[in-house]
Structure formats: structure tokens, C-alpha cells
Structure 1
Amino acid sequence: MADTGIGTPAQLKDPNYTPPIAKAIPLGIQHVLAMFVSNVTPAIIIAGAAGFGFGSNSPDFPSLIYMIQMSMLFAGIATLFQTIGFGPVGARLPIVQGTSFAFLPIMIPLVAGKGVEALPALFGGVVLGGLFHASLGTVIGKIRFALPPLVTGLVVTMIGLALVKVGIQYAAGGVPAVDKPEYGSLLNWSVAGIVILVTLGLKFFARGMLSVSAVLIGLLAGYAVAYLLGMVSFANVERAAVFQVPAPFHFGFEFSLAAVVGFCLMAFVSAVETVGDVSGITKGGAGREATDKEIAGATYADGFGTAIAGIFGALPNTSFSQNVGLIAMTGVMSRHVVTIGAIFLIFCGLVPKVGAIISTVPIEVLGGGVIVMFGMVVAAGISMLSDVDWNRRNMVIFAVALSLGLGLQLEPKALQYLPDTLRILMTSGLLPAAFIAIVLNLVLPEHLSEESTEEVSGGLAGHGAGLKNDPAE
């Protein structure tokens, strides 16, 4: 195959190859555009849950700008951990790190309605959970047996299901309150609908960078409409500084058992997600399996990147799956291309005005974007579940874990008499579902007896596409 102007086929599969700088810079920026919205959204959601989110008149509103700023800065730094590495840390592959959605179901109950006073405990959990996450690099290859697609698919699906409510609330005008009569108005839904329509149109009918950046362009379209309707204010942009160096323990540091336990348990899920992303990069970009050294290095970088981010007021980082698909699409395996994108993120993170501009996006516009993003999380979980052998044993595991996990999340008052720490962990829905699925998968026999499965299935066993009878029956 002839040289494409970026490199020869052999060079493009080499992580250590650097394309010509005129090609490498736009390729690096492309990686940033693909993950930018997803990267800053968790900080916005946590600030909103705590009570100082978009449209807030609270004196704590600058804390949102700072959290957005740190999301960009430490996504860039964590990405450098992966692409450049140091010692055993880093896969030395084109892995883009960003703020993880997976931890949101754990973080929201910790901060709900508590303002910035809840943040010291939150970031204490981020730091300690990150260090635990890094320690998983030593054993990640040995614990994967406990996390088959049945478990990981269920967990990812639960993450999406836990977040779809947030998307609807944002599209309707933010977290509902008695003093917001415009909540759910046609105007709010119209702006969110424009974002969804533009995103879907580009995703299905465009190609290349337009398709990859569909959510970002959809948000820009919604933002333009919102601006014309007078829904955008730039007051905070004028007050924001031009340059700011992050301060360690900006929000303080506090030990909370619920936060630490929650972040440590979710570290398993995040670590397995990273293993999948590393494997996807090496298969899609180089046509080979990931080495144990690369998987361990990526896990170390995940954990240490999260711990350092927490010290400075940023949320947990993980590898971003959308960038895995971008590598497969472009065919460029160069880690140095992603390094350029990381440097761009770091620059944005040092300029508070960038965070202030992002904070001008109306909540309804963001709602349209996150409806799509969170729906895609659910779809990704269902896709993972498609690899499951749906025999009766696995159906029982999935049914019990989903019913209890989702049920406790929907009706948190059912556990109102539990101690606060245990109640927060259980009503997240995600952790009880994951725990039940892991334990049942390890202890239940490979084949349930015919009598027990018939009682559970209620006469439906064996009917419908995708259902399989146990071989032993």
C-alpha cells in the first residue's frame, strides 16, 4: 500500500511513530473533540447535584468553573501518564483518559443537596480510591475471571440506567424545584430536542470527523438557538481569570467510609473497562493482543491519574472508549498524536475562561447531549450482554441482581433505617447489583436443576429469541 501522507501501513501500526507535525496536530485535536463533552459533563452533574450547578446564583458558583477546569487539566495529565509513562506506569499506547461516568451513581448520593461542604469527603474518596485502583495493576490479570460479560454488562447497563433520569431533568430545565414554573416547558424541551436531532442526523448521515463529533456539534447547534432565545449569559466569563494554577486540596480533604468503600469497589469496574479499551486499541490499531505489561501499565496510570486528580479537585479518570473507536477509524496508532491532544487539554485546564465559557451552556442544551450519551452507556452495556450465554443460570443471576439493584435505587426509603454509610452504598443501586452478580456467578453451579429453573421462569423458559436451554437438561 502506498504512503498516505501520514505514514506507511507499518508506521501507522507503530505506537512510537510520530506522523508529520502538520498531520499530527489535527489528529490530536480530533481526539480531544471526540471526548471533550463527556469529559466535562460529570463535573457539571456533580456540581448540580450538590447545589451549585448551572444557572445557580450561589456564591459557590465559581467552584463549578474550577471543577470544569480541573477536568480538562487532569484528563490531559492522566493521558500523558498513558502515552509517555514513567516506570511501570502507563501502557505507552494512544489511550485518552477522561472523567469517568461510572462513578456518578456513587458520587451523586454523597453530595446531593449538600453544597461544597460535601466535596472534602468526596475528594478524599477519589484520592484513596485512586490509590487502591493503582494497586489493582499488580493483580488485574488474576481477577478478570470474576468479571465476565454477565457482570460487566450488567454494571455498565446499571450505570446508564442510573443516569438517564439526570438527562431528562436537565432537558426539562434542571433539577425540578417548586420555584421553577418553567420546568418542563415547551421552550426547554425544544432546545434539548434540537441538540438530539442534530446529533442523530450527523451520527447517521455524516462521515469522518462530523460523525465522530456529532454530540459536540449538536450541543453547539443547541447553544446557538439558546443564545438567540436569550437563554445565555456571559457574566461569569468576564469575572473568570485568564490563567490559574491549580491548588492542592482546593476543596479540602476528609475521610468518609462510604466514599472510600464506594470508590474502591467501583475501581474494579473501571479497571476492567480499561482492560477492554487497551485490548480494543491494540486489536483495532495494530491487529494484535495487548500484552500483560501494557494492561498493568494502563491500570497503574488509571489509578495514579485518579489519585492525583483528586488532590487538586478533579473527579476520577478512566480510559475513554470513544477514542478507541477513533483509532480504529483513522488507523493511526501513534501515542504521540494523543500526547499532542493531552497538551491541548492541559492548556485549556490552565485557562479558567475556558471553563467559564463552558458554564454558559444552558442546562437544557446539556440535557439534550447527555440524553444521547447516557442512552449510549445503556446501549454499550446491552452490547456487552450480547456476549453472554443466556442459559437459565445466567438469567437468574441477571434478574436478581437487576431487580434488587434497580429497585433500591428507585425506592431509597426502603433502606432508611440502615446506617448512613451502608444506606448510601446500597441505594446507589450499582454496587448491590454488581456485588450480587459477582457472588452469584462465583457460587452458583454452572447448570441449575430443571426443577428450580422451571419455578423461577414461570413457564417462560426456552421461549423467545436468544434464550438457550442448559446443555445438561
Structure 2
Amino acid sequence: MADISIGTAEQLRDPNFTPPLTKAVPLGIQHVLAMFVSNVTPAIIVAGAAGFGFGSNSPDFPEMIYMIQMSMVFAGIATLFQTIGVGPMGARLPIVQGTSFAFLPIMIPLVAGKGVDAMAGLMGGVLIGGLFQGSLGLIINKIRFALPPLVTGLIVTMIGLALVRVGIQYAAGGVPAIGTPEYGSLQNWFVASVVIVVTLGLKFFTRGMMSISAVLLGLIAGYVVALLMGMVSFGNVANAAVFALPDPLHFGLDFQLAAIVGFCFMGVVSAIETVGDVSGITKGGASREATGEELAGATYADGFGSAIAGLFGGLPNTSFSQNVGLIAITGVMSRHVVTCGAVFLIVAGMVPKVGAAISTVPIEVLGGGVIVMFGMVVAAGVSMLSDVNWNRRNMVIFAIALSIGLGLQLEPDGVQHLPDTLRVLMTSGLLPAAVIAIVLNLVLPDEIADEATDEVSGGMAGHARGSLPKDDHV
């Protein structure tokens, strides 16, 4: 919990309270440590999916370093939008923004194997999707009814399921190594396993920041092991510049329908996630409900922060839930603490040597970390689904949406004859699953006849939240 010498109990619950800098700066850096790995990982994954970035001999390798930089810079800028605010934009609460995993199932099919040239279309989607999401601040409280736990839990679960394959590929040696003798070697899996074991040990057998930063510390442990095994090269760190500013339209802009539709849809999901995080912060840190202005302001900052990032080659941002938990642990509600962390992120992002240092992390080490992180995304979705009343109606909705969404991920050739734009959206799996769940939830009646559903489910019909079928229906 927070050191009471920072301020009185009433001050600690006040978002406008400013602790002494000697306290505020370390607390702000704590927030950065809690989100750092999750923030830079999507940039590395997108670069890898596009086919550039891995291997220091790649001519496009500096582009991955640049994307890592922008992940830090625009996470910091979007966080400042939240903590300081600009007009109606920003909740003026200690909300930490970071690059979102949620968009990866949309981004990966858009860039897969297409190289750096595909980034212009991706950035066009980030820009339009961000503007669309920001505009949701006007109506965010009116659309929440369409996304109950059944839908949001399914979406989050599908996001995790779409990404778990990436974690296994990275732990085995990375996509470029597929088909080579080195792929899946015991050395690769040993390094990844060190990350997983250390992460789990710290998560469950330590407290405070050690537990919150378990993934980061696990990656450091795996990195040290990889270094001792000769798997780390520092050549690019020496060659990287000391300071560089963001480059407007670094990748250019190209507006593609598949990217725009995908990013706009995921913007709705991100907005709802942010609403949940804002509510968590006000309840956990100040013991009150979030106001309508705070929810709208947070949504504006979430969306417009992403749009600005797209103009400079950055990826979309969202609020980070792990930092909500950190506020509950420290007991410090001050938005100015998070502002200190945001400034630290921006400064670090303008030093290419930091991005180059991050790029030295072997793909196997990162694989161990993302196995944990993506698995936790699935677990978070399952946790959200535990709030669902598992009656026959909801089981049918979930079954159909999951079957079609996951099925299209596993067998993308099943829709090979669709137009390119529609095919990309369908094979993400996430978009069709979410649309089916939302539409069915809105149009199906509250109850479905017992006989019909028992026939479909083989008699395994749930009767309450988290309950197993009763004997009379088996």
C-alpha cells in the first residue's frame, strides 16, 4: 500500500493531488514498468508478421526500431491526454495508455508477408479507426447495452485465441525459422521456458511491484540466459542514433476498406474496455462511480490518441488494465504521478538506442513472455464470461459465434472465393464472431424452447452462472 507520508488518506484518493517529486517520479516509473513489455510487444509482432524487423542484416530492420520508439512516444502522449486533458478530451484521471493487443488479430492479416509497403494501409486504418473511436465519446453510454459480458467476454477470448499461435511460433524460434532444423529446438524452448517459469514464480510467490512486473522480470531472466548462451547481438545498439523525433507520415497513408472496417469495429471494443478501466479506477482509487464526463473524455483521448499515432507510424492505443490494479495496490490516485510516467515514456521513445536495445531481445525470449500474456488475455475473457447467465439462449449465441469465428481462423481457405477485403475481415475470425454475437444477442428472444436447445447441445444446457447441467437434463 502507499506510504502514508506521501499525503493524507483524503489526498491519496484525490486525482488532483500532487505528491512531492521525490515520490511522484518513482511511482510514475512503476506505472511504466507495469506496462512496458505489453506496450512494445505489438510493434514487434506486427513487424514480424509483415516480414521485416528480425535479423540485423534486414534492410528494413530500422523500421522495427522506429515502431518500438513510436509505441513509447505515443503511449506517453495519449496518457498525457488522459491525465492533463485537452478541452473535453481526457478523463483527468490516472489512466495509462499503451499499444493495444486487441487490434493484433486485425493487423496481422492486413500485413502478413507484405513487408514495409503494407504499413501505409495499416496506418490509414489506425487513423480512421481512431477518429471513429474518438467520436464514440458522444454516445458511449448509449451503446453499452449492445455489449453485455456475453459479447465482450467472447470478443476478449477470441482475441487471445487468435494470438496464442504467435506465442508458440516465437518460442520455437520465430516465423522466419519455420521449416529449418533450428525451429522448435530444445535450446529455443529452454530459453522460453525460463521466462515462463520465472514469471509464474514471481507472480504467485511475491507481492507488490515484483508480482505486477513479473512478465518484465521474467523476460530479463530469459534475456540473461540467452546472453550467456550467445544468442544476443548488440551491433545495432551501437549503430542507432542517440536522439530522433517522430517522423510525420513515416510509412505514408493508404485507405483500404478492410483496414478501415476492422479498425472501426475494434475501436468500439477498445472504447468499452476503456470505460471499464475508468470505472475500475474511480471505484478502486476513489470509492465512487465514474462521471459521464470522465467516461466521454477518456473515450475521446483513447480514439484521438490512436489517430495521432497513426499519422506518425504508431499503432492504436487503449487504456491498460494492469495499471488500474497498480493504483489499487499503491493507493495513490494522483493523475500527476501517471503524468511523470508519461513524460518518461516520451523521452525514452525519442532515444533510438532504447528501441535498438529492446530489439536485441531474442525472439525465443519474447515468445515465453507472450505465451503468458496472450494466455492471460484468454483467461480474462473467460473471467468475463463467468458473469454470464448461461441459459440455453446464451449458450447457442456463444456456440455459433465461437464456431464460425474460430473455424475461419483455423481454415481461412474456406472463404477463398470472397473478395479480398471481405476475405481478410472474415479470416481474422474476431470480426465475424463479434458481429454474430452482437446481432444474435439483440434479436433473439430471452428464452428459447428447451427441446430445441437440448437437441443442439446434447443435453448439456446450463442453468445458472457457472453451473453444470442438472441431472434432469442429462
Tell whether the 8 Å contact from 1:126 to 1:316 is kept in structure 2 after alignment: yes
For residue 452 of structure 1, report the CA deviation from its aligned partner: 1.7
Contact 1:250 1:312 in 2 (8 A): yes
CA distance in structure 2 between the aligned counterparts of 1:463 and 1:88, rounded to whole angstroms: 45
Check the 8 A contact 1:85/1:92 in 2, yes or no: yes
Structure 2: how far apart are the matches of 1:55 and 1:363?
10
* Counterparts in 2 of 1:280 and 1:414: CA distance versus 1, 3 Å: same
Matches of 1:251 and 1:20 in 2, distance apart? 41
Counterpart in the other structure of 1:50: 50
**1:147 matched to which residue of 2?**
147
Structure 1 residues 462 and 333: alpha-carbon distance in aligned structure 2, compared to 1, 3 A threshold: closer
CA distance in 2, matches of 1:329, 1:3: 11
Query: Is 2:451 aligned against 1:466?
Result: no
Q: Using the alignment, how far apart are the partners of 1:330 and 1:175 within structure 2?
A: 40
- String of CA shifts for 1:165-190, please: whole Å, max 9, x gaps: 00000000001545632000000000
Maintained 8 Å contact 1:170/1:367 = yes
Residue-pair matches, total: 469
The CA distance in 2 between the partners of 1:435 and 1:178, in whole Å, is: 33
SS at match of 1:318: strand
Shift of 1:454: 2.1
Q: Give 1:427's aligned residue.
A: 427
* Mapping for residues 16-55 of structure 1, pairs under 5 Å: 16-55=16-55
Instruction: State the alpha-carbon separation in 2 of the partners of residues 401 and 40 from structure 1.
Output: 31
Deviation of 1:57 (Å) = 2.8
Cα displacement (A) at 1:124: 0.4
After superposition, give the CA deviation of every residue in 1:317-340 in whole Å (9 maximum; x if it has no partner): 000000000001111000000000
Provide the rounded CA distance (Å) in 1 between the counterparts of 2:453 and 2:67.
50
Equivalent residue, structure 2, for 1:408: 408
Instruction: Give how far 1:238 is off.
Output: 1.1
Using the aligned pairs only, state the percent identity: 79
> Residue 8 and residue 400 in structure 1: after superposition, are their counterparts in 2 closer, same or farther (change >3 A)?
same
Alignment of 1:87-166 (within 5 A): 87-166=87-166
**SS of the residue 1:95 aligns to:** coil
- Structure 2 letter corresponding to 1:86: V
The residue type paired with residue 130 of structure 2 is G
Residue 5 of structure 1: aligned partner: 5
1:434-467 deviation line (CA, Å, top 9, x unaligned): 0000000000000111222222122222589614
Cα displacement string for residues 299-331 of structure 1 (whole angstroms, at most 9, x for unaligned residues): 000011000000000000000000000001111
RMSD: 1.5
Alpha-carbon deviations, 1:417-449, whole Å to 9, x = none?
000000000000000000000000000000111
Name the CA distance, whole Å, in 2 between partners of 1:468 and 1:258. Answer: 41
C-alpha separation in 2, matches of 1:434 and 1:106: 13
CA–CA separation in structure 1 for the residues paired with 2:256 and 2:3: 56
Q: After the TM superposition, which residues 253-264 of structure 1 pair with which residues of structure 2 at under 5 Å, given as runs?
A: 253-264=253-264
* Distance in 2 of aligned mates of 1:288 and 1:416: 51
SS of structure 2 residue aligned to 1:389: coil
Q: Which residue of 2 aligns with 1:225?
A: 225
Q: Deviations over 1:185-240 (max 9, x none)?
A: 00000000000011000000011111111110100010011011110001111111
Partner of 2:213: 213
Q: CA deviation at 1:31?
A: 0.1
What TM-score, normalized to structure 1? 0.97
Unmatched 5+ stretches in structure 1: none
Q: In structure 1, what is the Cα distance between the partners aligned to 2:282 and 2:469? A: 33
